[in-house]
Amino acid sequence: MNRTLIAALLGSAMAAPLAAEIRIGHVYGQTGALEAYAAQSHTGLMLGLEYATNGTMEIDGEPIKVLEYDTQLDPARGRAMLAEAYGDDDVHIAVGPVSSGVALAMLPVAEEYERILIVEPAVADSITGANWNRYIFRTGRNSSQDAISNAVALGEEGVAIATLAQDYAFGRDGVTAFAEALEGTGADLVHQEFVPTDTTDFTAAAERIFQAMGEVEAERKMIFVIWAGGGNPMGALNAMDPSRFGVEIATGGNILPALVAYKDLPGLEGATYYYYDIPQNEVNDWLVEAHFDRFDTPPDFFTAGGMAAGIAAVEAIRAAGTHEDTEALIETMEGMTWETPKGPMTFRPEDHQAMQSMYHFRIEARDDVDWGVPVLVREIGASDMDVPVRN
């Protein structure tokens, strides 16, 4: 081939515009105590992108590229990773993280770079509350939604409740929201216990709770547990036989490995974000079938959340007609309703929190299932929960 032809071909290649690329950054704790949550979240995100694009991984002919960043559950590192995603890698929309503490550190970075951050699955109220900015959208439920749905499920006249929670943003926000949500239900919150996140010996905390409960006259007494990660506080509490004090254990839903401990607590009640057999809709049907086909297991708590975030990103870009104009994306996403494995979600315009259903459940122990099965008592719709705007 002569030099003239080579030069012509090179010039033509250089003149041809590069294909546009939609870059989505997943900034999440791949390593650390919550890595099981993180793995589910990433699987769900990828399945959501696949589902929403009918398997093409393209939006209007433009390919989607997903870049991953490991926060290692360190707030400072999470902040640095998000800055790298927006600044060095020109990510258009970021998703994550797992930890509420990491999320709070990341929020100002989204504002600094004026890029969208879809928070999934960190739950602290302050993310869409006191620390919120207009670039933050959350598909995951917040502490108030957890708390209010559990208050709807458990709260009634003649009920006394004590709480046991982890001593950080997730636990403290959860208890604050739960206490607020119980007001007007007739139930009384009589005691609060906060313990370190890595606690494995719950004896002292449980004894303080039992003592407080012993001083209360009530038709029904409960310890409501707000917990994330390891430690198995419910198993530890159950081993201390709270029934001798007339006390039941109650809690919200959790991932399948954690539900193994629920099998020893048939009849336990609470409200959950997701259990694969509860929602009845086309998106969840697809997710359950795809997950069984590929992994030979059902999708879990945070798989559904990751999928909701992936679908939201695709629907927002498609509806806005752009992945680069952040203002157009914000305008599109405020009030946007889209279908998820849980049914429809809507980004509330005031704080960009996703309004969504929760599920009142009661645990059944089944011989052919390794974990306690959350059986639906009733769906708690978004309209059934008065979720406060806290920003």
User: Residue range 306-319: average pLDDT?
Assistant: 98
> Lowest-confidence range among 4-13, 122-131, 156-165, 234-243?
4-13
What is the number of domains present in the chain? 2
pLDDT tens digits along 74-101: 999 999 999 999 999 999 999 999 999 9
Identify whether 193 is part of a domain: yes
CB 382 within 8 A of CB 356: yes
Residues in the chain: 391
Say yes or no: 230 and 164 in one domain: yes
Instruction: Identify the CATH number of the domain in which residue 111 sits.
Output: 3.40.50.2300
Say yes or no: 254 and 268 in one domain: yes
Say yes or no: 265 and 286 in one domain: no
Distance between CA 123 and CA 143 in Å, rounded?
5
Say yes or no: 318 and 232 in one domain: no
Say yes or no: 220 and 362 in one domain: yes
Identify whether 322 is part of a domain: yes
Residues 6 or more apart from 68 whose CB is under 8 A from it? 25, 26, 28, 30, 42
Identify whether 84 is part of a domain: yes
Given this model, what pLDDT does residue 235 score? 87
Identify whether 99 is part of a domain: yes
Distance between CA 212 and CA 318 in Å, rounded?
55
Identify whether 58 is part of a domain: yes
- DSSP collapsed to 3 states, 69-109: EECCCCHHHHHHHHHHHHHCCCCCEEECCCCHHHHHHHHHH
Cα–Cα distance list, 134 to 101, 243, 332, 355, 371 (Å): 19, 48, 13, 17, 40
Say yes or no: 362 and 351 in one domain: no
Say yes or no: 264 and 312 in one domain: no
Say yes or no: 204 and 322 in one domain: no
pLDDT tens digits along 252-286: 999 999 899 899 999 999 999 999 999 999 999 99
Given this model, what pLDDT does residue 19 score? 52
Of 224-233, 240-249, 372-381, which has the strongest mean pLDDT? 372-381
Identify whether 236 is part of a domain: yes
Say yes or no: 325 and 222 in one domain: no
Say yes or no: 154 and 137 in one domain: no
Identify whether 349 is part of a domain: yes
Say yes or no: 113 and 130 in one domain: yes
Say yes or no: 134 and 85 in one domain: yes
Identify whether 9 is part of a domain: no
Show the CA angle centred on residue 291, arms to residues 40 and 285, nearest 5°.
Answer: 110
Q: List the domain range (segments joined by +) for residue 266.
A: 146-272+358-384
